[in-house]
A and B are shown apart, each in its own frame.
Chain A
Amino acid sequence: MSDSAPNFEADERIKAEPLISRLMKRPELGAIAGVLLVTIFFLITADSAMFTASGIINFMTPAAQLGILAIGAALLMIGGEFDLSIGSMVAFSGLFFGVCVMVWGLPLIVAIPLTFVFSACVGAINGFIVIRSGLPSFIVTLAFLFILRGLSLVGLKWASGGSTQLRGVRDATENDWLAPFFSGDAFPGFFAWLAEAGLIETFQNGTPKVPGMPVEILWFIAIALVATYVLLRTPIGNWIFAAGGDANAATNSGVPVRKVKVTLFMVTACCAALVAIITVIDAGSTDARRGFQKEFEAIIAAVIGGCLLTGGYGSAIGAFFGSIIFGMVVIGLTYTGFDQDWFQVFLGGMLLIAVLFNNAIRKRVTGER
């Protein structure tokens, strides 16, 4: 953890610790190194267009959508649990949101909070079953992976009268004052100014190629910062580490482990709901395949970011960088001459390296020999 040591009198039994070995103990180090490596790789192999403003936005947008999930998954993993149902949760809360807007005709100011509350409840059900039964969360949430995906299909058919897609969300939300917070691009004025100043590329008519910062990137950054602050600088953060490190020891030390874990399940579900809301408004429709396999990608990003599968260790910033690696690899390959399908090989390789690396780091931290 990042507690900076105040200056106590030096102990003759510690060697001065070089910066590099101090850094080696940071959980997010692997992910940052990974970002550098991947960047260098694409600087060499990819078309230079990848690292222009529009290229960066191109890979940051999917990175952000995944990252919001990955940060939720990382918090939950640090707290010692898994959620395999987040991908299905995106579809399910997308359906609920779509129904709110299209079937019930609710304005966003009602539909969005309602979607969050609904998703948090589903997350809480997940959490309660895991806590009450004492079963591994892996198996309980695997069941929910299928249950929620199936319910999304059934619900969509009901709401749309037989199809697996619910269209027209964009038209219904276009003029809502809340929509700009969840869709489109932020700071268009700033980007126009940048274009005028010649700092970013423009089309021939002078409008910038990048009209603004996609809002999901802002959400992504904000959530990463808040999650990091909570983890490292609040009592609740300490409880999350403790609950994941050893639930029994934490309970005996007065940490409300059950509450912490259920809350984390709810937070993860809310992250899924946020991604659902953003992507549904953006696409203007919701369908049953939304969020498909995102649970694996989110967990991979969290692991690349330094989370241990056994819990009690990891970081939100790590998951942030893990997701960026993900986005860079998915999109970056299209800028290179490589076959797109190398993506999966790349991904598996990254995961393997990350897990080996994390294992070594954990041994360093705990002094395991």
Chain B
Amino acid sequence: MSEDSKFHHGEVKDSVPPIVQMKNIEKHFGNIIALAGVSFDIRPGECHCLLGDNGAGKSTFIKTMSGVHQPTHGEILFEGKPMSFATPRDSMEAGIATVFQDLAMIPLMSVARNFFMGREPTKGRGLTKRFDVEQANEITMTEMRKMGINLRGPDQAVGTLSGGERQTVAIARAVYFGAKVLILDEPTSALGVRQTSNVLATIDKVRSQGVGVVFISHNVRHALAVGDRFTVLNRGKTLGTAKRGEISPEELQDLMAGGQELAQLEGSLEGTV
């Protein structure tokens, strides 16, 4: 578990105003309280990791940021102004792109059609304005190659891709469209070694271009490799935010597991966790 990675980490300057600021977000589903007041912000050029156990509320939280859910209470500021995203389309138009945990892909549609779903490139004007299939195909192939995956063809149906290939399409799509904020909900859960390091390198690259990255992972090593700040969620609440260097991997791992239990577990598994 090396804390020194090959990446240049973003300088999290407190003076830089955040792109998105979430204040005291609460989200209730009927009588279930999924989020009980979470505050979070993301600045340009940083990678902010969101960590936590299963069911901690990470996905629910980023879904309020990307317009899928509307918070029950709380406030979202986008570039300093109060903002409420009614639909995912609104947040996309503001420059926020998301890789959802379930990927949001349509198996029956081709890779290229999935890649540009909702944001199709067009050519022509007026009545002849049409979906530029050639351009869509070409960009898809190029972007996928950048991620280290050689697709057989842009017209292959997503349903025939492997799990990791599918995940890579979703990541490539979000990276391509994430102008200001890129949200990745467990993007590396199905990826091979090479593709994972590719994704981490991509996070590093877009961060250096000034994009704010929100990175959810269960893997402390991946998080530490690219993260600048770490926020741990537990049962719908934040356990706090730490800057890189302020926290050791062991502490982080304990926090993610919600406290002491892991220490006991680790004993019985002889340090393999």
List A residues at the B interface (Cβ < 8 Å).
1, 3-6, 8, 11, 13-14, 229, 232-235, 237-239, 241-242, 245-246, 248-256, 312-313, 362, 365-368
Contacts and interface: CB of A to CB of B under 8 A. Distances in A.
Contact of A367 (B68, B131, B155, B157): B157
Contact of A3 (B104, B119, B137, B160): B137
Contacts of B131: 232-235, 237-238
B68 A252 contact: yes
Nearest to B170: A253
Contact of B137 (A5, A237, A253): A5
Nearest to B135: A6
B142 to A, nearest CB: 10
B33 interface: no
A4 B134 CA distance: 8
B113 A249 contact: no
5 contacts: A6-B134, A238-B131, A254-B92, A254-B118, A366-B107
B120 interface: yes
Given A233-B130, A235-B122, A252-B100, A1 B106 contact: no
Interface stretch (B23-31, B146-154, B208-216): B146-154
Q: On chain B, which size bracket covers the interface?
A: 35 or more
A3 B88 contact: no
Contact of B160 (A234, A250, A313, A366): A366
B117 interface: yes
B133 interface: yes
A249 B66 CA distance: 13
A6 B134 CA distance: 7
A238 B116 contact: yes
Contacts of A1: 109-110, 113, 155
Given A11-B150, A234-B131, A367 B159 contact: yes
Given A235-B120, A253-B88, A366-B160, A3 B110 contact: yes
Closest 9 CB pairs of A and B: A366-B159, A254-B118, A367-B160, A245-B106, A235-B120, A249-B104, A252-B104, A254-B89, A255-B118
